[in-house]
Copies of this chain bind each other. A is one copy, B any other.
């Protein structure tokens, strides 16, 4: 029987929107006639009638009882008389504390993240210990259920799974052996770490071809990296349908650089892969979650592009990991030749017994045994580092999010107003009737138009640079969210090993077992070090890369504006 570790993260950081919100109007907005819009003034307080109108609009009512649409950027929604004070901050997908907020999108309409969801860390809430204790597979009836065809990436169209609401992950699989834990866990309240005892005291099977080598590199213990790195391209999303068009889905083409032969996968297959990788490697390697599943506008072009971009990001990260990319299940996903091979491979993967902490049994560091103190110190170091980096990343996401909103909202508006003010003055000057007025009015109009262009450039810029900075940090946020659990396994093991003497005294284990445990915690520590070194080297590359990209685009941004202003400047004359 297989138990999935997928739990839905919930708790205080998920914002409910059922209360009647008051919103503060941040900027003047003039309704366009006939568009069901509502004119509002800066400083006014309105009541939010509907936040889910879409397209960047909120339906609001003013104090005179008039209602209509207002751009959501113009409102600061706060639950003035509600039980959720958290909503005074911007609740969107980049907000560090609001992952999985697919039905709380009050955020910026211009911000693709606010609608696109994030890599939510589905397991951040904690591991299901039982899942690790009962990792026996029994997927015999898998194929008969027609898993290949059924619709588990569209919760709204799954007839037999009425209990999966929009908020939950639509985990409607044919694998009836799955018991999905759809419990709302407060991740700070209790976190279930898989019990490492299963490995520390296990009689290990002989190491086969699956052996995971660790050697000593310049930076310390490192995984064995392949000669040529694996990579793949996720592309060409195609809408398919079945049941005579009643159900539809998107299929992505995944092409690895090894075979250069594309394979097709739907989101649910990515999700299956994620589950397998998490199950098998999660105790040793942080496996980041897939991008969110439940997003509105799922067949809309932009959403598909965004999901593809993020699936590509996720696959890239997996490809770059020497252990993950080399695993049977990952290779199967990338290189299966036909449905038969896929199904056979699937069944084998689901039957894999070497999962959870048992994955450490595959690890074979050729290095001297570390004593428990050193193990503990390293574990502490990694724990502290990942926690602090998590804070730093969230801080950056927060700042970036505010900046995104400022650029697409008030700043855009302001440059527009500057542009309009120049053009306005130009129009007035034009009526002077004074000879020789034209040069100035033309120049002023040009200046005005330039500032309107700048307004556009400013509003579009975040998509060109901040987007990637946010995307990378968001990915790292997801990755870092896996560390508490991964490191938790190690900490639990350390605790167990420290209890060694007591356990011997109590007759639970013998001294040989104690020696085995010491050896194995050392192996675990090498694994953690190799993983941290992998993380660091990737992090250094990723941050260098994204900062280069960000700065390059920022430079282009400032230079473009300077160039535009130069052209305008040439039109003014005091000769």
The complex places the Cα of A548 from the Cα of B566 at a distance, in Å, of 10
Using known A-B contacts A434-B219, A544-B440, determine if residue A565 contacts B554 with beta carbons closer than 8 Å: yes
Q: Is A421's CB under 8 angstroms from B440's CB?
A: no
Q: Which residues of B contact A572 (CB under 8 A)?
A: 544, 547-548, 551
Report the minimum CB–CB distance from A551 to chain B (whole Å): 4
A24 contact from B43, B388, B403, Cβ within 8 A: B43
Report the minimum CB–CB distance from A217 to chain B (whole Å): 9
Q: Which residues of B contact A541 (CB under 8 A)?
A: 574
A394-430 contact mask (Cβ, 8 Å, vs B): 1 or 0: 0110011011001000110010011011101101110
Using known A-B contacts A43-B76, A562-B555, determine if residue A414 contacts B402 with beta carbons closer than 8 Å: yes
Q: Which residues of B contact A532 (CB under 8 A)?
A: 434
Q: Which residues of B contact A427 (CB under 8 A)?
A: 392
The complex places the Cα of A42 from the Cα of B87 at a distance, in Å, of 11
Residue of B nearest to A398 (CB): B421
Interface on chain A toward B: helix, strand, loop, or mixed SS?
helix
A561 proximal to B (CB < 8 A): yes
The complex places the Cα of A411 from the Cα of B444 at a distance, in Å, of 26
Using known A-B contacts A43-B78, A219-B435, determine if residue A414 contacts B406 with beta carbons closer than 8 Å: yes
Q: Which residues of B contact A418 (CB under 8 A)?
A: 399-400, 403
Q: Is B428's CB under 8 angstroms from A42's CB?
A: no
- With an 8 Å Cβ cutoff, the count of chain A residues facing the other chain is 78
A552 proximal to B (CB < 8 A): yes
A41 contact from B24, B88, B436, Cβ within 8 A: B88
Q: Is B396's CB under 8 angstroms from A443's CB?
A: no
The complex places the Cα of A425 from the Cα of B539 at a distance, in Å, of 12
Q: Is B388's CB under 8 angstroms from A437's CB?
A: no
Q: Which residues of B contact A444 (CB under 8 A)?
A: 543, 547
Using known A-B contacts A218-B435, A543-B440, A544-B572, determine if residue A425 contacts B393 with beta carbons closer than 8 Å: yes
Q: Is A533's CB under 8 angstroms from B429's CB?
A: no
The complex places the Cα of A41 from the Cα of B76 at a distance, in Å, of 13
A389 proximal to B (CB < 8 A): yes
Within A357-398, the residues touching B (CB, 8 Å) are 381, 384-385, 388-389, 391-393, 395-396
A385 contact from B88, B431, B533, Cβ within 8 A: B431
A389 contact from B88, B428, B551, B554, Cβ within 8 A: B428
Further contacts, 7 of them, CB under 8 A, given A389-B428, A392-B427, A395-B424? A385-B431, A385-B432, A396-B424, A403-B418, A425-B543, A440-B544, A444-B547
**16 interchain pairs (CB within 8 A)?**
A43-B76, A219-B435, A385-B428, A389-B425, A392-B421, A392-B427, A396-B422, A402-B417, A403-B414, A406-B411, A425-B543, A440-B540, A447-B547, A544-B573, A558-B561, A558-B565
* Chain A contacts to B: CB under 8 angstroms: 24, 41-43, 76, 78, 88-89, 218-220, 381, 384-385, 388-389, 391-393, 395-396, 399-400, 402-403, 406, 410-411, 414, 417-418, 420-422, 424-425, 427-429, 431-437, 439-440, 443-444, 447, 532-533, 536-537, 539-541, 543-545, 547-548, 551-552, 554-555, 558-559, 561-562, 565-566, 568-569, 572-574
